[in-house]
Amino acid sequence: MKLSTMLTYDGNPRAAADQVVALEKAGLDTVWVAEAYGFDSPTLMGYLAAKTETIEIGSAILNIYSRTPGALLQTAAGLDNVSNGRAILGLGASGPQVIEGFHGLPYSKPLARTAEVIEIIRSGLKREPLVSDGLIKLPLTKEDGAVTGLGKPLKLLTKPERSSIPIYVAALGPKNVEQAAELADGWLPHLFWPEKFGQVWGDAIKAGSARRDPSLGAMNIVAGGMVAIGEGPETKALLDFARPLFALYVGGMGAKGKNFYNDVACAYGYEKEATEIQELYLSGKKREAEALVPLEWLEAANLVGPESYIKERLAAFKEAGVTSLNVHPAAENPAAVVEHLKSLI
């Protein structure tokens, strides 16, 4: 397995980005840069490209609504150039809360739009004219109100560093995961429970893989959680630091009936807890919501405990098909944790 991490920051992304240099030296393979409704991802990715030499730099994720397919193509090609071929394009539909509440765009037809965006980007990286007859109608025609001469399809003006850049898709719902297994180079799940992977997503992965183009190779899976290696109750207590994250996603990322992470909690067998966490979180009782996150889930989705236990969790993630372990070191020296993990994989 490769090792990756999500760039996290509290107010100052430059300070967090500076830590990536040390993680790269420690053997980290990939850094992912999120984009929700804070700073944009590509700016930080470009900054990281200038400060690093070998680490892969991925977006996790750029949503498929707020940028046109052409703009996403430009971003992917530009980042791949400044990083000398180290870019990974992580895409996703995000959710209604971000797309409608921040970008002011309708959250519609996520599956069709995802498939079409992937097709257009892959075509564009080969410097083929951007043409689509589907949901995203490219190019415009006179009937669409285009000025004469502006409806001609164009290809990328500059030559990309690579004619193909890995495209990863963040997905949780069965249909979305099935589509990722069919079309994407990699899959970015969240709050991943290795032992329950098959019962929740097994059928979707199988169905999508049956239609997968063999030239894509096997689908990569990026998943993981908090890492703290050590003996004693003080190490185990670090799991409580993961509670706010789990409660945020299960309880606060979307309205009732429109929260994909809540659906995953239900699929794991925690329908009662998921309902209560959401009700508490949406009513402002975040601490109470955090307390209801099942300890069993926290233990399974993270790697916290003595080295022998960490080895067991690594084996479970490998067994589930995870090709890149996405870690969040809970330590004063994250680079040392990365080095330790590299010795165990």
Residues paired with residue 221 on neighbouring β-strands, in sequence order: 187
Q: Is the pLDDT of residue 322 over 80?
A: yes
User: Using 50, 70 and 90 to split pLDDT, how confident is the model at 46?
Assistant: very high
CB contact at 8 A, 287 and 247: no
Rounded CA separation 165/171 (Å): 19
- Percent of the chain whose pLDDT exceeds 90: 86
Q: Does 93 score more than 60 pLDDT?
A: yes
Summary mean pLDDT of the chain: 94
212 vs 135, 183, 205, 316, CA distance in Å? 22, 6, 10, 25
Q: What is the pLDDT of residue 11?
A: 72
Predicted model pTM = 0.94
- For the domain made up of 2-228+306-344, give the CATH fold: TIM Barrel (3.20.20)
Lowest-confidence range among 110-114, 169-173, 257-261, 341-345? 257-261
Domain locations in the chain as residue ranges: 2-228+306-344, 231-305
Question: How many C-beta atoms lie closer than 10 Å to residue 152's C-beta?
Answer: 9
Check residue 278 and give its pLDDT: 98
Q: Which residues pair with 174 in a beta bridge?
A: none
> Residues 206-257: pLDDT tens digits?
999 999 999 999 999 999 999 999 998 999 999 999 999 999 999 998 888 8
Each residue's pLDDT tens digit, 167-214: 999 999 999 999 999 999 999 999 999 999 999 999 999 999 999 999
Looking at residue 8, what is its pLDDT? 79
Distance CA 47, CA 35 (A): 15
pLDDT of residue 16: 83
Rounded to whole angstroms, the Cα distance separating 100 from 147 reads 30
Give 53: exposed, middle or buried? Use CB within 10 Å, 0-12, 13-18, 19+.
exposed
Q: Stretch 1-7: mean pLDDT, rounded?
A: 96
